[in-house]
Chain A
Amino acid sequence: MTEAQPNRVTYGSTLVELGHRNPRIVVLDADVPKSTNTCQFQQAFPDRFFNCGVAEQNMICVAAGLAASGKIAFASTFAVFASMRACEQIRTSVAYPRLNVKIVATNAGLDNAGDGVTHQGIEDLAIMRSIPNLTVLSPSDPVTTRKAVLAVAQQDGPIYMRLGRNLSPLLHNENVDFQIGRMIRLREGTDLTIIATGNMAHAAVTAAKALSEQGIQARVLDCHTIKPIDREAILAAANETMGIVTAEDHSIIGGLGSAVCEALSECCPALVRRVGLKDCFASSGRDYRKLLAYFQMDATAIQAEAEALMQSRRAVKVPSMLTECPAI
Chain B
Amino acid sequence: MRTTESLPELQRKACRLRQHIIRMVGVGKAGHIGGSCSCADLVAALYFRVMQVDPAQPDKPGRDRFILSKGHAALALYAALAERGFFPVAELDRLKQLGAMLQGHPDRLRTPGVEANTGSLGQGLSIANGMALAARLDGSDGRMYVILGDGEINEGQVWEAAMFAAFHRLDHVIAILDRNGLQAMGPTKTRLDTEPLSEKWRAFGWFVIEINGHDFGQILNAFNQAKAHRGSPTLILAHTVKGKGISFAENNGAFHNGIMNQEQFNLANRELEAALDGLQDQP
Nearest CB of chain B from residue A236's CB, rounded to whole Å: 36
Task: Give the 3 A-B CB pairs with smallest separation, nearest first.
Answer: A65-B130, A61-B126, A69-B134
A283 at interface (Cβ–Cβ under 8 A)? Answer: no
Q: Which residues in window 38-96 of A have CB below 8 A to B? A: 47-48, 50, 52-53, 55, 57-58, 60-71, 73, 88-89, 92-93, 96
Q: How many residues of chain A have a CB within 8 Å of chain B?
A: 29
Q: How many A-B residue pairs have CB under 8 A?
A: 102
Q: Which residues of B contact A247 (CB under 8 A)?
A: none
Most chain A C-beta atoms within 10 Å of own C-beta, residue among B61, B126, B128, B132: B126
Given the contacts A53-B164, A68-B131, A69-B131, A26 and B137 also touching, CB distance less than 8 Å: yes
A-B contact pairs, 8 of them (CB 8 A): A55-B164, A57-B126, A58-B161, A65-B131, A65-B132, A69-B138, A89-B123, A92-B117
Q: Which residues of B contact A64 (CB under 8 A)?
A: 116, 126-127, 130
Extra inter-chain contacts (19) besides given A55-B164, A62-B129, A97-B107, CB under 8 Å: A26-B133, A26-B137, A47-B137, A48-B137, A57-B160, A58-B157, A58-B164, A61-B126, A61-B157, A62-B130, A64-B116, A65-B130, A66-B130, A68-B115, A68-B116, A68-B127, A69-B130, A69-B138, A89-B123
A98 at interface (Cβ–Cβ under 8 A)? Answer: yes
Q: Which residues of A contact B115 (CB under 8 A)?
A: 68
Q: Which residues of B contact A57 (CB under 8 A)?
A: 122-123, 126, 156-157, 160
Q: Report how far A24 CA is from B169 CA in the complex, Å.
A: 22
Interface size on B, as a range, is 20 to 34
B108 at interface (Cβ–Cβ under 8 A)? Answer: yes
Q: Which residues in window 114-167 of B have CB below 8 A to A? A: 115-117, 119-120, 122-123, 126-135, 137-138, 156-157, 160-161, 163-164, 167
Given the contacts A55-B163, A62-B127, A70 and B134 also touching, CB distance less than 8 Å: yes
Given the contacts A96-B117, A97-B108, A97-B109, A61 and B133 also touching, CB distance less than 8 Å: no
User: Which A residues form the contact surface with B (CB < 8 A)?
Assistant: 26, 47-48, 50, 52-53, 55, 57-58, 60-71, 73, 88-89, 92-93, 96-98
B126 touches A58 (CB 8 A): yes
Given the contacts A58-B129, A58-B161, A92 and B123 also touching, CB distance less than 8 Å: yes
Q: Which residues of B contact A63 (CB under 8 A)?
A: 130
Q: Which residues of B contact A96 (CB under 8 A)?
A: 107, 117
Q: B155 — nearest CB in chain A belongs to which residue? A: A57
Q: Which residues of A contact B164 (CB under 8 A)?
A: 52-53, 55, 58, 62
Q: Report how far A192 CA is from B115 CA in the complex, Å.
A: 51
